[in-house]
Chains A and B, each alone.
Chain A
C-alpha cells in the first residue's frame, strides 16, 4: 500500500502547489484516496491532513471509497438532461438502492453523475468504464443492470468494449 505512494512522491517536489497533481496521481494508482494516502501526502508536503482533506473534498474528482467493479457514470449534461437523464439517475438509484456518489455494499457498482461525456447524439447515456450504453430509458436501466449482474455472476467481462 505504501510502496506505490513512495514512487509517486519520488517524482514530486515538496511544494504546496503540487498537492492537487499529487492527489490525482494517488487516485490514479489506488483508484481512490485512502485515509493513509492522504495522511502520507500531508506529511510529504508538510501540511496538516485537514488541509489535504479540505482540498480533496472541494473537488468532485476525488473519491474516498474505492469505486465499484462497475463504476457507472450517468451523464447529466445538457443534451442528456433534455432527454430525461434525471429519470435515468432516479431509476438507477432505485435499482441499486444507493445515492449518486456511493458504492453498493457488495462493491459491484458505484454510481456517479458526470456532466457531458461528449457523445450527445446518443443521449441519455450511461458509461461503464469504456462502454457506452446509449439512449437509455428507465426500463433499459434494468436491462443493463441485469446484463452486468449476469456477467459478474459468470465471471465474464463486458464483450462490447471498443
Chain B
C-alpha cells in the first residue's frame, strides 16, 4: 500500500510529499534548497540546533523546516526579507568563532558552511571585516577563535574542535544510529565541544571506526586523515554507509 500523500505549496510550486515527513525533507525532495547544517532525516526528535532552515508557513509563522510536519494545503515560503535576515543573523553567529582559513581546510569546496554562505551571499575570508557581514548585522561582539586541542589520536580521522559548529550530528549518530555512545557534548557554553568520557583520545575511547560521524560532519571538524588522496562525499541521504563506502581513491572513478 502506498503511503498517503499530501500536497503542499513551497515557493509557488505544488509539491507532493508523504504524510509524516518534515517540510525540509519535502522541499529537498522536490529540489528546493533550504540551508541546513544539522538535519538528519532519521532523527525521531530533530536536533534543530543550527537554526538555519527557517521558513515561513502561512498561518504558522516562522518555523524551522526540519521540525515542521507536512500537512495538506500548507503554503511554505523559503525566501523573503524576514527569513533572510534571520538566517543571516544565525549564520553570523555560527561564523563568529569559526576559523575562516578555507584554503588550508581539507573540506574546502566541500563544506556546508561555504555552501550556505554562498547561498546567503555572505563573503567568507575576512569574518570580522567583511562588509557583507557587517552591513546589516553590525553590533555583534567580536568573538575570539577557540583554541582547543586537536585530537588526531584515531588512525583514520582527525577531530578539530575549533572548526566544529556543534550541530550534533556525530553525537546523534554515534549514540542513536550506531548505539556506540563514545561521543557526547562535553563542557558548556563557549567551551562546548564533542568529546569522549574524560576526554580520552578518540583512538582509545572504544570507537568502532564506523566513520559514520566523519561522513556526517558538515564542516572540516571531522576529516579522514588521508583526505588529500581520497575524495569525500556527503551528499544528502547517502551518509548512512560506513566510511569506506564514502571515500574512493581517485583510481576508483
Contact = CB atoms under 8 A, between A and B. Distances in A.
Interface of A: 35, 38-39, 47-54, 57-59, 64
Given A35-B198, A38-B197, A48-B175, A54 B181 contact: no
Contacts of B195: 50, 53-54
A51 B187 contact: no
Contacts of B188: 57-59
Interface string B179-190: 011111111100
Contacts, number: 45
A54 B187 CA distance: 7
Interface size class of B (residues with CB under 8 A): 10 to 19
A145 B197 CA distance: 35
A48 B205 CA distance: 11
B234 interface: no
B181 A53 contact: no
A58 B187 contact: yes
Contacts of B187: 57-58
Contact of A47 (B181, B183, B185, B205): B181
Nearest to A51: B184
B190 to A, nearest CB: 13
Listed from nearest, the 5 A-B pairs whose CB atoms lie closest are A48-B181, A54-B184, A50-B184, A49-B197, A50-B197
A50 B200 CA distance: 10
Nearest to A58: B188
B209 interface: no
B197 A57 contact: no
Residue with the greatest number of chain B CB neighbours at <10 A, chosen from A51, A52, A54? A54
Given A35-B198, A38-B197, A53-B197, A48 B182 contact: yes
A53 B186 contact: yes
Contacts of A47: 181
Nearest to A56: B186
Interface string B186-206: 111000000111100000010
A51 B174 CA distance: 11
Interface in B3-25: none
B181 to A, nearest CB: 3
A3 B184 CA distance: 28
Contacts of B184: 48, 50-51, 53-54
A38 B181 CA distance: 15
A51 B171 CA distance: 10
Given A48-B180, A53-B184, 16 more contacts: A35-B197, A47-B181, A48-B197, A49-B181, A50-B182, A50-B195, A50-B205, A51-B175, A52-B197, A53-B196, A53-B197, A54-B185, A54-B186, A57-B187, A57-B188, A58-B187
27 contacts: A35-B197, A39-B197, A47-B181, A48-B175, A48-B182, A48-B184, A49-B197, A50-B181, A50-B183, A50-B184, A50-B186, A50-B195, A50-B196, A50-B205, A52-B197, A53-B184, A53-B186, A53-B195, A53-B196, A53-B198, A54-B184, A54-B185, A57-B188, A58-B185, A58-B187, A58-B188, A59-B188
A57 B175 contact: no
B207 to A, nearest CB: 11
A49 B181 CA distance: 8
A48 B196 CA distance: 10
Interface in B69-91: none
Given A50-B195, A52-B197, A57 B181 contact: no
A53 B188 CA distance: 12
Given A38-B197, A50-B197, A57 B186 contact: yes
Contacts of A39: 197
B131 to A, nearest CB: 38
